[in-house]
Structure 1
Amino acid sequence: MDVNGNFSEKLVTDVERLVELYEASHLRIHGEEILDEAYEFTSNELKSIATKLSPSFLEEQVKYSLSQPYQQGLPRLEARRFISIYEQHPNHNQTILTLAKLDFNFLQKLHRREVGNICKWWKELDVSTKLPYARDRVVECYNWILAIYFEPQYCQARNILTKQIALLSIIDDTYDAYGTIDELTLFTQAFKRWDINCLDDIPEYMKLIYVHVFKFFEEEERELAKHGNAHCIKYFIKEFQRTLQGYMTEAEWLNNNYKPTIAEYIETSLTSTAYRLLIAVSYIGMGDMATEDIFKWVMSGPKCVRAASMICRNMDDIVSTEFEQKREHVLPLYDCYMREYNISKAEAFRELQKNVRDAWKDINEECLKPTKVPMPFIMRALNISRFVDVMYKDEDCYTHAEGKMKKCIETLLVNPVSI
């Protein structure tokens, strides 16, 4: 900064330093006004510069950083992208480059085997035939979980968590797009009772879901028992029931044409994102580190978990509005802002975008050392937020999987890096 406290004009002529400052500004926390100013300054300058740069390594870096800051990007996708960019750098180290390529391809082969085994499990469920209303997205689910942890030691964790999110996707579609309010009431009550003997109380198509959920939680309990943590299953069941109650509340709002307040919407929708449940389940495969205190911590709704849910909810509402309203869905959050504050749709969208920025600041704060819990646990909340930032930036890429989601899957699971 210059003597007047403004960002130096010399920065404008040093594009690499400008990009570095722009990337650093995404690590800001609440109250860091200088980094807020740095974000605005570098964003405006780089947008202007990007139109003037000739095709080059630097031009590609500027445009990509503007569209996807590193802090909010997917680690594996960022690694694959940077291999291609680094290869173009005139001073690259060939040994390091080759090692990075070998590492990427080695992990890709492991991930392919994992997703192949999960697809076999999914085919046995025969979802497309027995539950044709549900989105058939098991590979996309695995891609989601691959964002949370890609390291080879978390193979079993990815298997468990992918199955969890795939089952939740079916349940979400049941509440959102298929079940009647009476059927959903019975379904929710059955899971509250948590008794396999209550199958007679629910419709036939729901019995299939109920049975598979029970089998899944039995698998989780066995996995926890290996580490002496079988007693933690009670936390998962409670959080699963809480998530379904969130789905049920939204279904009741829609059925009754009820328009919630902002506060009501946020509290319920943070539950219905299922992010607290998914983050908690992600800890199962993390070995002895995942003590009962860790599970109690995540179930208490800590700041980083709540922030991850906020990012998911707000970004989903921003990009899914038109699609959701076509199939009848509870009114989105921006509508609550419009009604409660008497503002325009554009102003409401800006409020949602501000919510996302504030949530990222919360996550950045939680990542500062010393952390309340070991950093590997906070990383799960960080990484699941990164997935949403990448896949929900322009549209709901989980529902509409032919675009960015498909390209991501091809990059991470299909196409190896050329050595």
Structure 2
Amino acid sequence: MGGSLGHPRMALHLYILSTPSSSKGFIHCRPLSHQWMISSNIKCLASTHSTELTTYIRRSANYQSSIWDFDFVQSLNSDYKGEAFKRKTKKLKEEVRGTLDDGAMGQLDLLELIDDIERLGLGYLFEEEIKKALDTIVSMEDLAKTRTKESLHATALQFRLLRQHGYEVNQGMFNHLKDEIGNFKATYLADAKGILSLYEASHLAFEGETILEEAKNFTMTALKEIIKGNIEKNLAKQVNHALELPLHWRVPRLEARWYIDIYEKKENSIAALIELAKLDFNIVQVIHQENVADLSRWDIKAIGQLPYYMKICFLALFNSVNEMGYFHLKEHGIDSIPFLKKAWIELCKAYLIEAKWYHNNDKTTLKEYLNNAVITIGNNVVFIHSFFSLQQTIREEELDCVSQYPSLFYWTSMIVRLANDLSTSMAELERGDVLKSIQSYMYQTGASKEVACEYIRNMIDETWKKINNDLYTNDFLLPQPFIETMVNHARMSLCMYQYGDGHGVIDDESIHRANLLLFEPIPLLRDA
């Protein structure tokens, strides 16, 4: 079906194989050469006769097995669990905190330090200090007066950081960078660092912010030319990296692993910050390893019988809800069952719609497809489960908001669906499936595959603007960790499908990223 269910920290993808829409009764499945053979005696309710069903061969993606086997995952062990490293972390935090609190630091230096801290994955350790620093910058009375004196890099960096943190900041702050006829000044083309900063800032745009849209087009063209020239090696790496995916769209933890290497080579880098970033990454990696080890204890062979087990779970869910204490949030006085039931019912109904399209050979328009496909991608199920898994006190207004599926559910689901389709739709069509977003657009408009793919990429870009607006307004008043979970799910999809089907096909880049993130600690400068 092409839909995927996954936890924000790890991807557990469940593929629900649907039966012909005319079938009724229980379906008994068993594996047959990596496919599914279905046979069943179904008793007609209107008569006493039994009818023998036709044998169907279910479609299969034949996904490869994991290259990290059970024994390997269970054998993972790390020295970074020790108390010595926790003490070292505390010491380094105090050292970096002292640098952040240095009142003599200039505004640009402070902004760059905040940016470095966050890109190194350490922002969560210095939330109060960062907020205090940004509050000070925003409250400066002469901010508007000094605007024309700021460099391209300083203006763009200030805009990006303030908007990332929810401060009110207008795109008009870039007006002084334009010439008399409204174009960005050509003199900036020689400023590679400034162009890169403006490019990253432009991806924080809301819908209708034309100046930022112009900035994105201007900087994207400029960076492609800049990279052809003779620029500093470390900066060239950052430009190439940004052109592949902007910072705002990247998975934070994987980005931190990449940026540690960049920052270490940066002029005037702070030794304590480098060491803290490495140590923190290794300590968090231990937590991820423990999660993977727990998940690997699942009976993987049993996943092959997923449709049968889903039937059992579904019956248990509906018939024995009062006995399933696992789903009850007793400490909050909240029963999560109705919310989970709603999400799973909607998902299964959406799968059945796709099954009907497939068996009837229906052709869908893009709108028809996406109305259903944003559900079959499985995000709503993931998000509802994630919401009730957070260690927090759930307020009444939050529960009410989640029950109505706020717009951020929809937009992040759209990103995951479109990213999935761009990389997997051709393979899915070859093995037999419904039209995806690309093919639906081609059918609807007569466009070529190349034009359709470009249209879908533009849809991803426009959807991010809607996400940006939701993040800024936060009208739904959801807890910040849950908001980050949703947005990171969208980012993870762009990462997973960046070079192809990173879920269904084990390619070298996917293996490399998994190793960096989960299995390979970063060597420290000194022992703890």
Task: Name the TM-score class by shorter chain.
Answer: 0.7 to 0.9
Aligned mates of 2:382, 2:218 — CA distance in 1: 37
Matched residue, 1:384: 489
Shift of 1:55: 5.9
Shift of 1:194: 4.4
Matched residue, 2:327: 221
1:212-233 Cα distance to aligned partner (Å, 9 max, x none)? xx9xx947514x223322x222
Aligned mates of 1:70, 1:412 — CA distance in 2: 17
Match of 1:95 among 253, 266, 272: 272
Match of 2:376 among 272, 277, 284: 272
Aligned mates of 1:288, 1:346 — CA distance in 2: 46
- Deviating above 6 A after TM superposition, structure 1's stretches of 4 or more consecutive aligned residues are 187-190
2:432 corresponds to 1:328: yes
1:101-127 Cα distance to aligned partner (Å, 9 max, x none)? 11111111122122112211x1xx2x3
Aligned mates of 1:268, 1:65 — CA distance in 2: 32
Contact 2:332 2:393 survives alignment (8 Å): no
Aligned mates of 2:199, 2:240 — CA distance in 1: 12
Matched residue, 1:63: 240
1:349-401 Cα distance to aligned partner (Å, 9 max, x none)? 22211221111011000111454314333222211111111111231211113
Contact 1:232 1:295 survives alignment (8 Å): no
Q: Report the 3-state secondary structure (helix = DSSP H, G, I; strand = E; otherwise coil) of the residue aligned with 1:288.
A: coil
- Distance change (3 Å), C-alpha of 1:393 and 1:402: closer
- Distance change (3 Å), C-alpha of 1:359 and 1:289: farther
2:150 corresponds to 1:46: no
Match of 1:261 among 349, 357, 365: 365
Alignment TM-score, normalising by the size of structure 1:
0.76
Contact 2:188 2:195 survives alignment (8 Å): yes
Aligned mates of 1:408, 1:279 — CA distance in 2: 24
Matched residue, 1:397: 502
Larger CA Rg, structure 1 vs 2: 2
Contact 1:316 1:392 survives alignment (8 Å): yes
Letter of the 2:255 partner, please give it. E
Contact 1:46 1:62 survives alignment (8 Å): yes
- Distance change (3 Å), C-alpha of 1:227 and 1:401: farther
- Distance change (3 Å), C-alpha of 1:194 and 1:370: closer
Q: What does 1:8-407 correspond to in 2, within 5 Å?
A: 8-54=185-231, 56-120=233-297, 122=298, 125=299, 127-128=300-301, 130-132=302-304, 191=314, 194-195=317-318, 218=324, 220-222=326-328, 224-229=329-334, 231-369=335-473, 371-374=475-478, 375-407=480-512
Letter of the 1:34 partner, please give it. I
Shift of 1:90: 2.3
Contact 1:391 1:397 survives alignment (8 Å): yes
- Distance change (3 Å), C-alpha of 1:131 and 1:119: closer
Contact 2:406 2:476 survives alignment (8 Å): no
Shift of 1:53: 3.2
Alignment TM-score, normalising by the size of structure 2:
0.61
**Stretches of structure 1 lacking an aligned partner (at least 5 in a row):** 135-169, 175-182, 198-213
- Distance change (3 Å), C-alpha of 1:192 and 1:264: farther
Aligned mates of 1:192, 1:255 — CA distance in 2: 26
Superposed CA RMSD in Å reads: 2.6
Contact 2:415 2:460 survives alignment (8 Å): yes
Letter of the 2:379 partner, please give it. Y
Aligned mates of 2:397, 2:264 — CA distance in 1: 45
- Distance change (3 Å), C-alpha of 1:289 and 1:52: farther
Contact 2:412 2:489 survives alignment (8 Å): yes
Calculate percent identity across the aligned residue pairs: 29
- Distance change (3 Å), C-alpha of 1:289 and 1:42: farther
Letter of the 2:203 partner, please give it. H
Between Structure 1 and Structure 2, the one with more strand by share is 2
Shift of 1:72: 0.5
Matched residue, 1:7: 184
Contact 2:196 2:239 survives alignment (8 Å): yes
Q: How many residues are paired up?
A: 346
Contact 1:366 1:378 survives alignment (8 Å): no
Contact 1:236 1:277 survives alignment (8 Å): yes
Between Structure 1 and Structure 2, the one with more helix by share is 1
